[in-house]
Amino acid sequence: MYRDHDRIRAMEWADGVLRLLDQRVLPQREEFLSLNQCSAVAGAIRDMVVRGAPAIGITAAYGAVIAGAARYGADPGNWRTGFEQDLESLAQARPTAVNLSWAVRRMREKARLADGDPVPALLEEARAIHEEDIRANLRMGELGATFIETDSNVLTHCNTGSLATGGYGTALGVIRSAWSAGKLSGVFADETRPWLQGARLTAWELIKDDIPVTLIADGAAAYLMNLGKIQWVIVGSDRIAANGDVANKIGTYSAAVAARQHGVKFMVVAPSSTVDMDVRSGADIPIEMRAPSEVLEIGGRRMAAAGASAWNPAFDVTPAELVHVIVTEKGVVEQPDGARMAALME
């Protein structure tokens, strides 16, 4: 039944080329970029051609395949030095999403064990990372949907669907599963400034999958909750600390505070690869700062008054005490804290 609401893939691998759906131009145009250089893959991650923590990790894994092929083809006897440089460039493309470094580590280990041409083993590992993510998303959708009561309205922030993952989605996967089960009365999506991932991407995905969606300005969420229109806020995450603090798209913390004020439950959905047990709390998560122009401009046209500056963190941190449940493919953690997170990851 879920296949009725799972028609989109953000990345494709074919004949040594990685094809990425360019998310910068959605929903006006559906264009794929064909990449066969590791530097281009790192650039695509950095420049938001592809975004969403799981999708970034998968893309980096395929980028490592491209790097391995190029380095081994150029110098079979000394390919590892350049390959390591390529992996580092991939890992540094977006610093907050832990899935990126996690995927790079897996590819590094696979390359370390390679005897001769590393490409077959690297490609096998990249495909495994991709397929594992889709299976994990389906499992998380199933687990998360069990918390949703019939006739619920849900609110989501940013984009956490097939565009942000290998397929199906994390938070949007829960929404897809809950919709398929007939539990949802409505889905609301924050527009998600400054990149408008909710308006451009989440709304596009849901419409593609025949799931009705109502778009709201980010600042309207609290009032919508005040009116009793929302039962759950469901979001993804780019990194979860060992104590259950959650880093996610800027604006998530505001939604969590509003949800607590209005008695609305708050769910975080992310694969276990997003949990970073080496980071003690959200205070230790690096927060990516992006160009002021993203706030000062819309579509390349300046909207702010001349002379105004901008502060543009890409993410914020929601404390664990504001989270009702974290859903992973390994299981769920209600009222997360350090001990419960450790038990999950064991």
Give the pairing type, strands 184-190 and 315-318: unpaired
Q: Considering only the C-alpha atoms of the chain, give the largest distance between any 2 of them, rounded to a whole number of Å.
A: 67
Q: Tell me which residue has tokens 């709304």.
A: 203
Contacts of 63 (CB under 8 A, 6+ apart): 18, 35, 38, 41, 42, 45, 86, 90
Contact 149/182 with Cβ under 8 angstroms? Answer: no
Where does the chain show beta strands of DSSP type E?
11-14, 17-21, 32-35, 152-156, 184-190, 214-216, 232-235, 239-241, 246-249, 265-269, 275-276, 297-298, 301-302, 315-318, 325-328, 331-334
Give the pairing type, strands 239-241 and 301-302: unpaired
Token pair, residue 280, equals 């003690």
Token pair, residue 29, equals 């145009």
Q: How many degrees, rounded to 5, is the angle at CA 246 between CA 213 and CA 290?
A: 80
Question: What's phi and psi for 262, nearest 5 deg?
Answer: -110, 10
Please state the length of the chain. 346
Catalytic residue among 6, 190, 209, 238: 238
Contacts of 337 (CB under 8 A, 6+ apart): 243, 244, 320
Please say if 284 is a catalytic residue.
no
| Sign of the alpha-carbon torsion through 274, 240, 137, 207 | negative
Distance CA 214, CA 224 (A): 12
Residues tagged active-site: 238
